[in-house]
């Protein structure tokens, strides 16, 4: 038994699974938006949120990216995808309304108004999510040691998703 073989096999499976999942998410976004540009904005927002969440987790002093931390990031994907879709959909809707009304407002102002329109609700939803999982962070004993990396990874990923949804979705929609 050589542990390196197991790790290499696990990383290969992870890469293949992420590729398949990414393709399915991209296809679902294309079907949802009927617009490749907005689907790409959502997909890039999801990727940046996930990578930045892992990076902030690393900066916070997490010793390793273990199975439980990965599970926390996977659980946070639900919130990350939701944030990206809501922001992008609201931006697309506002831009469509602006074109139909022949409004002279700049694209920057329209996209900024669209993002700010959803941020209040997203902030309080994120706060509610974090408050709901907070008791798990303070668990003691062996169970607490086991679940702590999951909760920390989940919390950082959800917080970064809130920030990235506001900045990246707005910035990419301007391109």
**Which residue, chain included where needed, has tokens 């990383």?**
11
What is the model's pLDDT at position 158?
A: 92
pLDDT band at 167 (very low <50, low <70, confident <90, very high): confident
Q: Are 76 and 157 in contact (CB under 8 A)?
A: yes
What is the model's pLDDT at position 1?
A: 65
| Rounded average pLDDT over 127-154 | 89
Separation between Cα atoms, residue 165 and residue 120, nearest integer Å: 12
pLDDT band at 160 (very low <50, low <70, confident <90, very high): very high
What mean pLDDT, rounded, does the chain reach?
A: 85
pTM of the model: 0.82
Separation between Cα atoms, residue 44 and residue 47, nearest integer Å: 5
Nearest to 155 by CA among 66, 51, 56: 56
Judged against a pLDDT cut of 80, whether residue 112 lies above it is answered with yes
Judged against a pLDDT cut of 90, whether residue 132 lies above it is answered with yes
């Amino acid at each position: 038994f050589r542990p390196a073989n197991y790790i290499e096999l696990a990383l290969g499976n992870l890469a293949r699974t992420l590729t398949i999942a990414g393709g399915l998410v991209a296809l679902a976004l294309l079907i949802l938006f009927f617009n490749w540009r907005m689907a790409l904005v959502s997909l890039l927002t999801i990727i940046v949120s996930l990578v930045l969440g892992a990076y902030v987790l690393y900066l916070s002093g997490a010793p390793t990216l273990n199975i439980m931390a990965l599970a926390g990031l996977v659980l946070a994907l639900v919130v990350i995808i939701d944030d990206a879709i809501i922001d992008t959909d609201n931006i697309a809707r506002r831009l469509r309304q602006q074109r139909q009304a022949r409004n002279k407002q700049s694209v920057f102002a329209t996209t900024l108004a669209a993002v700010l329109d959803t941020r209040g609700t997203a902030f309080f939803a994120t706060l509610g999510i974090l408050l709901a999982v907070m008791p798990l962070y303070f668990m003691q004993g062996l169970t607490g040691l086991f679940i702590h990396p999951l909760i920390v990874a989940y919390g950082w990923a959800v917080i970064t998703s809130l920030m990235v949804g506001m900045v990246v979705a707005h910035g990419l929609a301007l391109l």
